[in-house]
Structure 1
Amino acid sequence: MAAPAKPLAVTLGEPAGIGPDITIAAWLRRRELDLPAFYLRGDEALIARRAKALGADIEIASVSPGETETAFADALPVVATGKHVTAEPGKPDASSAPAALASIREAVADVRAGQASAVVTNPIAKSVLYRAGFRHPGHTEFLAELAEADGRVPQPVMMLWSPRLAVVPVTIHVSLRDALTQLTSDLIVSTVRVVATELRSRFGIAQPRIAVSGLNPHAGEDGSLGHEEQTVIAPALKVLRNDGIDARGPLPADTMFHEAARSLYDCAVCMYHDQALIPIKTVAFDDAVNVTLGLPFIRTSPDHGTAFDIAGTGKANPASLIAALKLASRMAAANS
């Protein structure tokens, strides 16, 4: 598939975490892996310090988004946010949150202005952001707010994708008790509609096959182990099938994820966070990609955290970021 016309905008993430490390590591492998051109929205001085700590012999180019393609072959392009970082590896400080948030805002603005083809976000530290007054549960919800600038109120849907398995949780970053309260037929319907639409438009799957899990053990065992399959999930599936969507279920979650079962669908939609994320982190821990569906722009991200304990040591594995870059490029090309 052809590369998108515009570069990818990579965010800084938590500057004291491994985001700078894996960005540098990915750029160093650009030729070996034929990576799409990208630039980092951040602080050039921070990247220079981190490269020195890692012993990475790289050139860093301060550029505008439009200069990325020319610079990328010989230097890691950095588009400045104007937020200077004083945080050291593993030690977030007062400069962390403003730098991380500015990077996200400006990367999104770049894509919406047509200067970049997609946003690829490095991991943030929510606890650090919360102390600075951040009021969103995570990246996904913040991106949804940024997407409201044109008056559209999107429903962001979190997908974890790998070549072996793609999953979507209907309820996300809430307690299991709250997930049960939030789970409705309408929420299942709206979530699966977003999934089906984007599998067609951004993944090139003409007729997506979507497996929908039950909530209870054995998908409720005909009501003997719970009634949500009959009262909440089955009505949603009826609506989806009437829409022409190939939505299958409700299926017992304990038999959905072995290799033979995975071959029968393109995405598994599950009722709560761990029901979806445990299987994908089991089969694709290093190369799973977090994708936010339902936004007016493409966003992918590594599926791991900030790893403060190994920041600046050279131990961080860039595999998930590399997968996120490749998937963002693929989605942008399909959407062009």
Structure 2
Amino acid sequence: MPLPRLAVTAGEPAGIGPELLIRLAATSLAASLVAIADRHVLERAAMRCGLRIELTDDDGSVQTERQPGTLRLRHTPLAVDEVPGRPDPRNARHVLDTLTEAADGCIAGRYDAVVTAPLQKSSINDAGIPFSGHTEFFAERAHADVVMMLASPELRVALVTTHLPLAAVSAAITTEALTRTLRIVHAELRRKFGIAEPRIAVLGLNPHAGESGYLGREEIDTLIPALDVLRGEGMHLLGPVPADTAFVPALRHHYDAVLAMYHDQALPVLKSEAFDRTVNLTLGLPFIRTSVDHGTALDLAGTGQADPASLIAAACMAMDLVARSKASA
């Protein structure tokens, strides 16, 4: 039986991404792993990790088995050699080239999914290229409306806003944004996760979900009217739910996913519980994309000590989503 073809990007070459990719290749994961990276970066990462990895240029052929320690490669050259822990803006174009190959390859059917290692957004911006993250890049490349979700085995959390200053969040919580986000989350819970009737807990923006307007009117003026319209369309929505009680373990069986209003409203809960098992995925794309839930860890880069658990979890989730997609086709 053909193995799923996973394109795996190495992310920031001066970060821990190349070492994580090497450690992923060393596992017995039953997937055809295609690294989109610079060959020499991976060879140096393997040396730092004390692992022998067989790199083979990817010819697009079907694999029915993969031996641990083997990795197919789509060579994408660096501009300058990496120095672990010190991102170089001259390599920004290289990083974007790896993402472009991954996205375009998935759209063209060369890969079944893309799994991304962490990148350094500041280094890309320092190169004079406006860049806000993987999620936004893939959305633009695929011309898709997308939603960021982080998921562990116990909890799924989607976001209305992602990388915004806190002062800008309230203005970004509009009826249109809520409606668009909830429709995508609802559809993807059905399509990607096989949940026939998704139940989504929607967090309030303010403490105590606004306390009947005394702590803010966003719930009254925006959230409740938007949720009522979507309930009329048949969606099962809980809330607005106060964020300080939504994650109580006894309440979690009431919902399949949580919609948070902003990045740090819910993600600290998820990461504190399951940092090494949490996966970042992009909903709404015409292909499957998963990622680690952490950054480039520049202080660990070059030591060979970085923990690959989140990248392994991301690859495993990508495989599960690919299998479900093919089974329902």
> How does the TM-score come out when normalised to structure 2?
0.94
Q: Establish whether residue 137 from structure 1 lines up as the match of residue 132 from structure 2.
A: yes
Match for residue 173 of structure 1? 163
Match for residue 330 of structure 1? 320
Q: Establish whether residue 11 from structure 1 lines up as the match of residue 6 from structure 2.
A: no
Moved more, 39-48 or 50-59: 50-59
Describe how 1:296-311 pairs up with structure 2 within 5 A.
296-311=286-301
Superposed CA deviations along residues 171-209 of structure 1, whole A, max 9, x for unmatched, are 111111111111112211110110010000011111111
Conserved in 1, the CA contact under 8 Å of 2:25 and 2:69? no
Amino acid at match of 1:12: A
SS of residue in 2 equivalent to 1:295: coil
Amino acid at match of 1:140: T
The count of residues paired between Structure 1 and Structure 2 equals 326
Match for residue 116 of structure 1? 111
Match for residue 320 of structure 1? 310
Conserved in 2, the CA contact under 8 Å of 1:81 and 1:106? no
Q: CA deviation at 1:324?
A: 0.5
Q: 1:203 to 1:179 in 2, by over 3 A?
A: same
Amino acid at match of 2:150: L
SS of residue in 2 equivalent to 1:284: helix
Q: Establish whether residue 294 from structure 1 lines up as the match of residue 314 from structure 2.
A: no
Superposed CA deviations along residues 40-76 of structure 1, whole A, max 9, x for unmatched, are 1111111111111221122222223336656655522
1: CA distance, partners of 2:173 / 2:268: 19
Q: 1:334 to 1:295 in 2, by over 3 A?
A: same
1: CA distance, partners of 2:109 / 2:67: 19
2: CA distance, partners of 1:95 / 1:62: 25
Match for residue 231 of structure 1? 221
Conserved in 2, the CA contact under 8 Å of 1:39 and 1:68? no
Conserved in 1, the CA contact under 8 Å of 2:14 and 2:298? yes
SS of residue in 1 equivalent to 2:119: coil
Any unmatched runs of 5+ in structure 1? Answer: 149-153
Amino acid at match of 1:42: A
Q: CA deviation at 1:309?
A: 0.9
SS of residue in 2 equivalent to 1:61: strand
Superposed CA deviations along residues 312-334 of structure 1, whole A, max 9, x for unmatched, are 21211111101100111111222
Match for residue 84 of structure 2? 89
Conserved in 1, the CA contact under 8 Å of 2:26 and 2:69? no
Conserved in 1, the CA contact under 8 Å of 2:120 and 2:296? yes
Describe how 1:209-288 pairs up with structure 2 within 5 A.
209-288=199-278
> How does the TM-score come out when normalised to structure 1?
0.92
1: CA distance, partners of 2:107 / 2:307: 30
1: CA distance, partners of 2:8 / 2:38: 12
Amino acid at match of 1:19: G
Conserved in 1, the CA contact under 8 Å of 2:148 and 2:280? yes
2: CA distance, partners of 1:4 / 1:47: 26
SS of residue in 1 equivalent to 2:197: coil
Which one of 182, 204, 218 corresponds to residue 172 of structure 2? 182
2: CA distance, partners of 1:85 / 1:329: 33
Match for residue 22 of structure 1? 20
SS of residue in 2 equivalent to 1:225: coil
Superposed CA deviations along residues 238-278 of structure 1, whole A, max 9, x for unmatched, are 11111111111011110011211222211100111111212
Match for residue 46 of structure 1? 41
2: CA distance, partners of 1:325 / 1:118: 9
2: CA distance, partners of 1:250 / 1:309: 40
Identity across aligned pairs (percent)?
A: 47
